[in-house]
Structure 1
Amino acid sequence: MAEHTNLSTPSFGFVGLGNMGSVMSQNLADYAQKEGFPKVKIWNRSRSKSEQLATEGFFEISDTLEDLARRCNIIHACLANDEVALSVYRQILDVAKPGIVLVDHSTLYPDISTTLRAEAIAEGSSFLSCPVFGPPAAAKSANLLVVLSGDGNARSLLKKYVVPTLGRAMIDCGDDTRKGALLKILGNSCILGTIELLSESFTLAEKTGFDAELFYEFIQQWFPAPAWMNYGKKIRDGAFSGTTGFTIPGGMKDASYIRRLGVETSTPTPTIDQAWSHLTTAKALGGDSLDWSSCSAGMRVTAGLPPFKGEDFTLAKR
């Protein structure tokens, strides 16, 4: 198989240092340092993020994406959308040596994942779909749920370190990268659906005069799942800062993927359709920087309540 399966000394790269990537790359750097591997090479479109990370961990900044591609044999990436992913991975494959392993932690549409896998194979390399579930706080503590699919030998290589370096557990979806990408979208459908349901329930509680604190206590006792407790708390408090979470544009991108899959398979997606509408309202009222749980603002407006709790609008952005 490809040369990467025999690598004795991985040389890691990490591309995309947003809320998730910056934390995941730190865990990868800690692992590399502990194992005596070279420093993790990092590249980000905004160099300032790379410079900040380089002062805090076992990193080396690459001036260009092409330089990183030439110096690494395993490259992890966490990218904003399909267009960015296509551009970044194609630039890497243009200059990298055969046998490189590309590990994608982004949320990509399944067709894009399939395309990138085929292009990597054509260059004698591997592309793995490796999306993760969990917010930045879970990424920091390596408590993510990792999904993995792609070439079997490359998957075996990843399994040697991804858990517990990046996550607490892994779901192996097999050789077809489309499966990994699909699971990420299906999982995000469940999460966004949970946010929509919580928005409805907290709004109904407020309209009926029921204590939000008491309702949240019920959620903690009866639905002790991370998504329920994390987003329930945000909606209860009206605390929608996107600086440490998942912002509205990302939520709308994921919702569009879910709805597109529904159209392509003649499958209704009524809950996500409603969430899309509420995300649109929240974006119009609060801008792109809010967490996607701020879609509860759309539900509140529909019910005749102020979109955000408190008279000071800035409270919604904290």
Structure 2
Amino acid sequence: MSLLIGYVGLGNMGGPIFTNLVNYAASNNLPAPCAWNIVKARYEELRPRCPGAVFCDELEEVVMRSNVVFTCLLNDPVAEEVYERLFAAVRENKGKDKVVFVDQSSLKPRTSRKLEAAAHQVRASYLAAPVFGRPDAAQAATLVQVLGGENAAKELIKPLIVSAIARRVVDAGEDVAKGSALKLLGNSLILGVVEMLAETYALTDAIGFDPEVYQNFIRDFFPLYPYIAYGDNISIGNFSRPEGFRLEAGLKDARNILSLGEDFGRPLNLPTIELAKQHLERAQELCGNDVDWSALSVAVRERAGMEPFRQLAQP
């Protein structure tokens, strides 16, 4: 069948992904994709980069216009609310092609299973499809795309994803919960790195070690993106970079990681993630939500008896 692409949720990640999908459709003689976002002002920001795209007034219009619908939503309650409306729209339009929903949100595994079951009730497909990468990687179409769910739906969209969204696809199997779980497992590693960077940078200040020298050491011996990007933030005390991972999203993921074992019937104590969650909660009180999650370092400094904000902090 011809791909009719829709997108729901045009935030820091969804916006550049949708832009790439519009370009893909134009290059492959496909109909122009459509999109919906709760904040309509976002449409005017994206319209110049998305020639021909249809920006919908109503969420349900996306289902009317599409047979492959991507979503990128803030959290589990929002996802459940949005999908309830999307599935209702599918039910009301029984004569159209089967719709494949590709959910790029980072959700609890049990939420993904719930949404898949609801999709099947309206004869639609649902894939847990979270991504790894920051907004700059989304813009460059170099994300790592996870896919969990039924194989037929995955095979349908893989060519689209590797052309327009990701440098690599990781197939997590037919259980949608495993797709969501892989995202949380990966983010737990990244959060552990951020926590350790925050602690060691507090230690460099405590002993009077030059943070620039330490960051150059990290660049040489740990040349991986999380170490470099988040180390850069912490070394200068600047957490306002727009390309970062928002603290609010990081705190949501930290809580979901802590309940991941329980979701699979095996509760597990995760002391590093629990400590990082506490630091994120305190950083939220000190900085608000509109900062990168590496701002947890201000809470680490405070707990160590230091001034939370380094003197080298930049506006």
- Report the TM-score range of the alignment, normalised by the length of the smaller protein: over 0.9
Is 1:244 equivalent to 2:243 in the alignment? yes
Following the alignment from structure 2 to structure 1, what is the Cα–Cα distance between the partners of residues 167 and 173? Answer: 19
2:114 corresponding residue in structure 1: 115
* Alpha-carbon displacement from aligned partner over 1:22-53 (angstroms, at most 9, x marks no partner): 11111111111111111110100000102321
Following the alignment from structure 1 to structure 2, what is the Cα–Cα distance between the partners of residues 185 and 242? Answer: 23
* Alpha-carbon displacement from aligned partner over 1:62-92 (angstroms, at most 9, x marks no partner): 1101111111111111000111111111211
SS of aligned partner of 2:296: helix
Q: Which runs of 5+ in 1 are unaligned?
A: 1-6
From 24, 46, 57, the counterpart of 2:17: 24
Classify 1:124/1:187 alpha carbon distance in 2 versus 1 (closer, same or farther; 3 Å).
same
Q: Is contact 1:98–1:123 with CA below 8 Å preserved after alignment? A: no
Classify 1:311/1:185 alpha carbon distance in 2 versus 1 (closer, same or farther; 3 Å).
closer
Q: Is contact 1:54–1:60 with CA below 8 Å preserved after alignment? A: no
Is 1:290 equivalent to 2:291 in the alignment? yes
Residue 311 of structure 1 and its aligned partner are, at CA, apart by 7.9
1:265 corresponding residue in structure 2: 266
Q: How much identity, in percent, do the aligned residues show?
A: 39
Q: Is contact 1:65–1:92 with CA below 8 Å preserved after alignment? A: yes
Match of 1:117, as an amino acid? E
Q: How does 1:24-173 map to 2 (within 5 A)?
A: 24-58=17-51, 59-96=53-90, 97=96, 99-173=98-172
Q: Is contact 2:237–2:312 with CA below 8 Å preserved after alignment? A: no
Q: TM-score, normalised by structure 1?
A: 0.93
Following the alignment from structure 1 to structure 2, what is the Cα–Cα distance between the partners of residues 19 and 36? Answer: 27
1:3 corresponding residue in structure 2: none
Match of 2:101, as an amino acid? L
Residue 239 of structure 1 and its aligned partner are, at CA, apart by 1.4
Following the alignment from structure 1 to structure 2, what is the Cα–Cα distance between the partners of residues 10 and 158? Answer: 9
Q: TM-score, normalised by structure 2?
A: 0.94
Q: Is contact 1:19–1:245 with CA below 8 Å preserved after alignment? A: no
Q: Which runs of 5+ in 2 are unaligned?
A: 91-95
SS of aligned partner of 2:259: helix
2:185 corresponding residue in structure 1: 186
Classify 1:311/1:215 alpha carbon distance in 2 versus 1 (closer, same or farther; 3 Å).
closer
Following the alignment from structure 2 to structure 1, what is the Cα–Cα distance between the partners of residues 306 and 261? Answer: 31
2:279 corresponding residue in structure 1: 278
Following the alignment from structure 1 to structure 2, what is the Cα–Cα distance between the partners of residues 237 and 20? Answer: 25
Following the alignment from structure 1 to structure 2, what is the Cα–Cα distance between the partners of residues 32 and 179? Answer: 30
Q: Is contact 2:240–2:292 with CA below 8 Å preserved after alignment? A: yes
* Alpha-carbon displacement from aligned partner over 1:270-298 (angstroms, at most 9, x marks no partner): 00111111111111111111111100001
Residue 143 of structure 1 and its aligned partner are, at CA, apart by 1.4
2:219 corresponding residue in structure 1: 220
Following the alignment from structure 1 to structure 2, what is the Cα–Cα distance between the partners of residues 88 and 280? Answer: 27
2:234 corresponding residue in structure 1: 235
Residue 164 of structure 1 and its aligned partner are, at CA, apart by 3.5
Match of 1:89, as an amino acid? Y
2:93 corresponding residue in structure 1: none
SS of aligned partner of 1:14: strand
Following the alignment from structure 2 to structure 1, what is the Cα–Cα distance between the partners of residues 252 and 73? Answer: 13
Residue 147 of structure 1 and its aligned partner are, at CA, apart by 0.5
Is 1:10 equivalent to 2:3 in the alignment? yes
Following the alignment from structure 1 to structure 2, what is the Cα–Cα distance between the partners of residues 23 and 310? Answer: 34
Following the alignment from structure 2 to structure 1, what is the Cα–Cα distance between the partners of residues 21 and 236? Answer: 34
Aligned residues: 307
Q: Is contact 2:109–2:260 with CA below 8 Å preserved after alignment? A: no
Following the alignment from structure 1 to structure 2, what is the Cα–Cα distance between the partners of residues 25 and 111? Answer: 27
Classify 1:211/1:164 alpha carbon distance in 2 versus 1 (closer, same or farther; 3 Å).
farther
Query: Any runs of at least 4 consecutive aligned residues in structure 1 with deviations exceeding 3 A, and if so which?
Result: none
Q: Cα RMSD between the aligned structures? A: 1.5
Following the alignment from structure 1 to structure 2, what is the Cα–Cα distance between the partners of residues 147 and 56? Answer: 26
